[in-house]
Amino acid sequence: MCGIVGFTGDRDAQEIVLDCLRRLEYRGYDSAGIAMISKDALTLRKSVGEIAVLESQLEKMPGRTGIAHTRWATHGKPTTENAHPFVDCKGEYALVHNGILTNYMQLKEQLVKKGHKFTSETDSEVLVHLLEEAPGQDLKSKVLSMLRQTEGSYAIAVVQKGHDEIIAARNESPLVVGVGHDENFVASDVTALLKHTNEIIYLLDKEAVRITPRGVELFDLNGKAFEREPKKISWNLEDAERSGYPHFMLKEIFEQPRAIHESLLGRLDGQEDDALLKEQFTSIKILGCGTSYHAGLVGKYIIEELTKIPTTTQISSEYRYSPVTESKPLVVCITQSGETADTLAAAREARRRGCKTIAITNVLGSAITREADYVVYTRAGPEIGVAATKTFVTQLIALYLLALRLGAIRNTLSSERRRDIISGMRALPRIVQSVLNDASKIEALAKKYKCAQSMFFIGRHLNYPTSLEGALKTKEISYIHGEGYPAGELKHGPLALLSKDTPVVAICIADHTYEKMLGNIREVTARESPVLAVGTEGNQDLSKYAEEVILVPEVDPLFSPVPIIVALQLLAYYLAIERGCPIDKPRNIAKTVTVE
C-alpha cells in the first residue's frame, strides 16, 4: 500500500502536493518523492524515510503541476533509488504507482533488450519505460497503450515535461479525482484532498482520467469518454484519515478482502524463487509472538495437512530454552513488524544452530529481513491499530502459500486437491467481505455480552488457535479477560471457572469436529454459561444448543480460521466500543515490542 497524489492548477504546486501527500502517510512511510513540471523542465526529488525527511531536503521547485508518492515497499528495499516517481531514460515523463504488477519481469526483460536503463529494483519502473516506447501522439494515448500491456493492480499518475496535465488510472488500487476551481487533483484517498476540495469523483477499476487546470476528462482504457458527477464529501479531516471509520482497527478489519487479494496477487502460480524450500529438511519449526504465534499455530495444521512434514510452533522467547536437536528444522519466523526483539533473537539462535530460516513479515527492509535466508511479504499495507487484524489474516495467506508450494515440491498433493485449494484461496476475499457485510449483527450481540468480566473461547483442531486469537483480541481491546482453550480441555480444569456470568464463544463449524463441539457446548450450558456459537451458514441446528449464533460462509475447513477470526475481531471491536475503550491504543501495550 502506497499513497499517490497529483495536482495541476493556477497556483504553485509544490506546497499543495506535499500537503496532500502528508495526509497519505498512513498508507506508507518508508520513502517519498515528488516530480514537478515547469515550462521547460521536469524536476525530481526523492529520499528514504518519512515525508518530513524529503521536505527538509527540498529547495523551491518551480511549476504548477506535480505528482508525489509515499511508499510502502513491496518490490525492492526502501532506498532512494526505489522511491517514486520514476522517470524514463530521456527524462521526459515521470510516473507514480501504487499496486503490484504481476508481469513486470517479462516486460523488464524486453525493455532491457531494447536498451532501457533501469535504476531501481521495483516493478513500477517498467511502466515509465513502457511509456517511452508507447505509440501515440499525446500523453493520454501513450498511457493507455502502456496500460494495455500491464497485468496486476495499479493506481498511477503520469506527467510529461512542458505539459500542465496529469493522466491517472486505476485497476484494483484506489484512486479519486478532486474537482476544484481552476485546479484539479488526483489521490489515493479522499483524505489527501479535503483541505482543498470536497468535490470528489471516485474512479472504478479500469477507468482513467486526464486533469488539467480547467478540466476533468474521464475515459475507459479504450479511450472512450464517459461522465460522472462529483460527490460532495462531508467528512472532517480527522474522519478522513481513517476513510470515515471511527478507528483504524475497524478500517483495517474492513481492509481484509483487499489485503488478502494483494497477498495472493501473482503468487498462486508458484513462480517465486523457492530454492530454499527444495532443501532436504525433515521438519519445520514456526516461531512468533502474540498474534503471529497464533498464525504459526494455525500454520502447523496447514503445513502438516498439505505437506506431511512434521511441524511444531513455539513462542519466540521460549525457543532458546528448547534443546538443540540433531535434525535441523526449517525455521519459519513470523513477525508483522519485523522488529519484535524476541523473534529477532530467536531467528539469530536458529541460525546459530545451523538452521535455514524463512521470515514472514509485513515490513520490507525490517530487521527480520536481514536475519532470514528467505523472506515472504504479507502485503497487508501499514497497520496502525495496535491490535493485529489484517496482518494476522495475511500471515495465514503466506502460510497457505508456503504449504501449497512445499506440497508441490514434495509431491504430497493430488492435482485435484491443489486445484481445490487454489480456488478456495481465490474465494477468500469474497468470503471475508460477506462476514463484514454482517457486522451489524455482531455489533448487536456485543451489547448483550458487554458486562462480562471474563469470557472463554473454545475450538478444536485449526480453530483451537483461532479461539486463542479471538481471546487475545478481546482481552487487549475490550479489557475483558478472554481465555482461549482447546474445547476438549475444559473438563480438565477450567469448567470450575464457568458460571452464568461467563459467556463462552464456541467455534463449531461443519467439519469432523462438529459433534464433539456440540458435546462441549452441552458441558458449558450445563454450568449455565451463555454460549455464543460461531458456525457455518445453513446450520439451523446450532441455535438449539447455543443462546446466540454467528454464522459465517462455509469454506473448506482448512480455510475456516479466516472467516471466523474476522467475526471474532468484529466481536472484540464492538465489545470494546460498548465498554468505552480507546481501541487503537490500548493501555500498557505497544504496536512493536523491541525489548526482550
Q: 194 or 480, CB closer to ligand F6R? A: 480
Nearest to 119 by CA among 14, 6, 33, 17: 33
Interface residue with ligand F6R, options 341, 345, 510, 593 (CB under 6 A): 593
Interface residue with ligand F6R, options 66, 213, 290, 535 (CB under 6 A): 290
Contact 38, 17 (CB under 8 A): no
Interface residue with ligand F6R, options 291, 314, 478, 502 (CB under 6 A): 291
φ and ψ at residue 337, rounded to 5 degrees: -80, -25
Q: 257 or 290, CB closer to ligand F6R? A: 290
Contact 235, 370 (CB under 8 A): no
Task: Describe the strand order of the beta sheet including 548-552 as a list of residue ranges.
Answer: 481-486, 454-459, 504-507, 531-536, 548-552
Active-site positions? 2, 591
Is 337 near ligand F6R (CB under 6 A)?
yes
Contact 479, 463 (CB under 8 A): no
Q: 290 or 459, CB closer to ligand F6R? A: 290
From the list 184-192, 289-297, 498-506, 525-533, the region that binds ligand F6R by CB under 6 A is: 289-297
From the list 138-146, 163-171, 178-186, 334-342, the region that binds ligand F6R by CB under 6 A is: 334-342
From the list 128-136, 162-170, 290-298, 350-358, the region that binds ligand F6R by CB under 6 A is: 290-298
From the list 9-17, 247-255, 283-291, 399-407, the region that binds ligand F6R by CB under 6 A is: 283-291
Q: 120 or 378, CB closer to ligand F6R? A: 378
Could you please report the per-residue DSSP string of 129-141? Answer: HHHHH---SSHHH
Q: 150 or 362, CB closer to ligand F6R? A: 362
Contacts with ligand F6R by CB under 6 A: the residue count is: 15
From the list 232-240, 268-276, 329-337, 548-556, the region that binds ligand F6R by CB under 6 A is: 329-337
Bridge pairing between strands 207-212 and 215-220: antiparallel
CA distance 329 to 307: 14
| b/e code 45-66 from CB counts within 10 Å (16+ = b) | bbbbbbbeebbeeeeebebbbb
From the list 65-73, 154-162, 333-341, 488-496, the region that binds ligand F6R by CB under 6 A is: 333-341
Extract long-range pairs of 42-46: CB within 8 Å, 24+ residues apart: 42/87, 42/91, 42/92, 42/93, 42/94, 42/159, 42/160, 42/161, 44/85, 44/87, 44/94, 46/80, 46/83, 46/84, 46/85
Interface residue with ligand F6R, options 13, 68, 249, 387 (CB under 6 A): 387
CA-derived radius of gyration, the chain: 25
- The least CB distance from residue 245 to ligand F6R, in Å, is 18
Nearest to 177 by CA among 147, 150, 217: 217
Q: 369 or 412, CB closer to ligand F6R? A: 369
- The least CB distance from residue 464 to ligand F6R, in Å, is 17
Give Cα separations from 551 to 255, 309, 484 (angstroms): 21, 33, 20
Is 289 near ligand F6R (CB under 6 A)?
yes
Amino acid at 249: M
Say which residue the cell 535441523 belongs to: 328
- The least CB distance from residue 573 to ligand F6R, in Å, is 12
Nearest to 126 by CA among 144, 148, 150, 143: 150
Is 330 near ligand F6R (CB under 6 A)?
no
Interface residue with ligand F6R, options 127, 388, 550, 570 (CB under 6 A): 388
Interface residue with ligand F6R, options 122, 292, 314, 474 (CB under 6 A): 292
Is 340 near ligand F6R (CB under 6 A)?
yes
CA distance 71 to 25: 8
Q: 143 or 363, CB closer to ligand F6R? A: 363
- The least CB distance from residue 290 to ligand F6R, in Å, is 2
| Nearest-CB residue for ligand F6R | 290
Q: Which three cell numbers stand for residue 531?
A: 454460549
Residues within window 455-494 making contact with ligand F6R, judged by CB under 6 A: 472, 476
- The least CB distance from residue 473 to ligand F6R, in Å, is 6
Nearest to 264 by CA among 95, 416, 380, 91: 380
Q: 157 or 363, CB closer to ligand F6R? A: 363
- The least CB distance from residue 595 to ligand F6R, in Å, is 11
Q: 374 or 573, CB closer to ligand F6R? A: 573
- The least CB distance from residue 565 to ligand F6R, in Å, is 11
Residues counted in the chain: 596
Q: 198 or 336, CB closer to ligand F6R? A: 336
Give Cα separations from 158 to 92, 210, 211, 524 (angstroms): 11, 10, 11, 61
Is 384 near ligand F6R (CB under 6 A)?
no
CA distance 4 to 158: 11
Interface residue with ligand F6R, options 314, 336, 520, 536 (CB under 6 A): 336
Bridge pairing between strands 284-288 and 231-232: unpaired
Where on the chain is the footprint of ligand F6R (CB under 6 A)? Answer: 289-292, 335-337, 340, 343, 387-388, 472, 476, 592-593
